[in-house]
Amino acid sequence: MNSRIAVVTGGLGAIGLATCRALAQANFKVIAADLHASQSRWDDIQMSMKNLNIHFEPVDVSDFSQCASFVQQVESLHGPISVLVNNAGITRDGVLKKMEPADWDAVISVNLTSVFNLCRQVVDGMSERGYGRIVNISSIIGQTGQFGQSNYAAAKSGMHGFTMSLAREVARKGITVNSVSPGYIKSAMTDAVPQELRDQILASVPVGRIGQPDDIARAVAFLCAEESSYLTGVNLPVNGGLFISF
């Protein structure tokens, strides 16, 4: 069988790259979608990926019309998209009383509106073909909230509502829609958290370590497998036991 096409947004970040690698190793042809990548950065990434079947396409996921052209471009160059991993995300942390409308808008549009923008473009094709896997990368913050992250928590919680609703809409079409909620994972985003707070977080993680991008990639690849067809509308927390609930 030809490789299925998987798109990973935020594909050049820590979790994004690990997810691209895991999906390529699972025999997908992977499109790493991100804002931009210089040729030298992309060459370095490809070297580190040891020639896995991964390609780069630029897109601003917060822009609906760019998402439409992006999907057209990917499908004409590579083939129909079977898997969409909505992983692109940013933070603009700040307590609400100091938060500017621009900080709110940026986080909601990159983290949440992006999920609408891309799902809206791919669900028709997936439905016609009777097959699809959509995974939305949320966050533990969407489950617990966090001091200074009202914008980010709102976006990440919103992804769950979106996931559960779309899962119901497309269940009869062979499409599953799930979310993954990472805890604190080694990345540029968590490296920016003040050291004192990072030490506190690490001390409270039951498994005793910060997560690695591969911890998330493994969960995503599981949800993207053809065999995972009976799993839909769920949130899979991957947080080292930091937040345990049912």
List interacting residues with ligand CAA (CB under 6 A).
Answer: 91, 93-95, 98, 139-141, 146-149, 152, 184, 189-190, 193-194, 197
Write down the catalytic residue from 131, 152, 184, 230: 152
If the CB atoms of residues 223 and 238 are measured against ligand CAA, the closer one turns out to be 238
226 C-beta neighbours (distance < 10 Å), count = 11
Considering the complex, state which of residue 132 and residue 211 has its C-beta at the smaller distance from ligand CAA: 211
Q: Which CA distances in Å does 4 have to 81, 177, 188, 198? A: 7, 17, 30, 39
**Shortest Å, Cβ 63 to ligand CAA:** 23
In the complex, the smallest distance separating the C-beta of residue 51 from ligand CAA, rounded to whole angstroms, is 31
| Burial category of 102 from C-beta neighbours within 10 Å (exposed 0-12, middle 13-18, buried 19 and up) | exposed
**Which helix (H) or strand (E) segment is 86 a member of?**
strand 81-86
Q: Whose Cβ is closer to ligand CAA: residue 176's or residue 187's? A: 187
Comparing every residue's Cβ against ligand CAA, the nearest one is: 148
The answer to whether 152 is a known catalytic residue is yes
Q: What one-character DSSP code corresponds to residue 47?
A: H
238 forms beta bridges with: 182
**What minimum distance in Å lies between the beta carbon of 190 and ligand CAA?**
5
Q: Which residues are catalytic?
A: 152
